Each structure stands twice: as C-alpha cells, then as structure tokens.
Amino acid sequence: MKTAIAIPGASKPVAPYSQAIVDQGWVFVSGQGAVDPITNLYQAGDIRTETERTLENVKAILQASGSSMEKVTKVNVYLRDIRDFSGMNEIYARFFAAPYPARTTIQAGALPNGIAVEIDCIARQ
C-alpha cells in the first residue's frame, strides 16, 4: 500500500505529484529544488547555496517518511549547467557518507522556475 508524504518542512508540489511516496519499505522522493519550505519561493543563489537548500528539503522529506540520508540507495542530480558539478559535489559530500548511494548526474538544461539543481532519491524506510 503506497502512502503519500506531504510535510510543511519542504517545498510544496506545484503540479500533480507527491513530495514522496512510501511503498513496501521504500521511500521515493520527488525532485526537490532550492525552494524555501516556509514561503514556497525559489531561493536563488550560487550552486553551493542551492544544493544545500535542496538537500535540506530532501532530508526533511526522508525524516518525515521514517527514513534518513544514511538509508538513501540511489540519487539523481539534474544540473542546469554541468560546469556547476564540482560546487554541487562539494555540498553533496557533506550530506552523504560512505558507502555513498549510487548516483547519476546530468545537465538537464531548463529546470522548473530557473532552479540550478534538482535532486530526487530512493531510500529504505
């Protein structure tokens, strides 16, 4: 039985999707960006600032789902500009420890609302 997660501590969906779905012990977190969870407004900044806000949103959703960053098994990172990879990676490394989750990082071009980074993940509950 799948359960939708909706918490005030992360950005609210702007389309028909859930912040996360919990199903059979797995947590599937939808793509998150640098959106302030209180105002639900995009927080523009450099790639490090945006990555930190994005991962804080992911972390809040995981915690509300009964999971944590330590239980993440797969991450997808979408960058507006692949040249931001090293800055994103610097912040990313603060949120995860070895053994690191499997990860894909791509340049996605036009991301919603002009955000510089979007991150989704899968974790064990």
Q: Which domains can be identified in the chain, with CATH numbers?
A: 3-124 (3.30.1330.40)
pLDDT at 87: 98
Cβ atoms of residues 29 and 123 within 8 Å: yes
CA distance 106 to 96: 19
Cα 14 to the center of its chain, rounded Å:
15
Condensed to tens digits (0 to 9), the pLDDT of residues 28-70 reads: 999 999 998 888 888 889 999 999 999 999 999 999 999 999 9
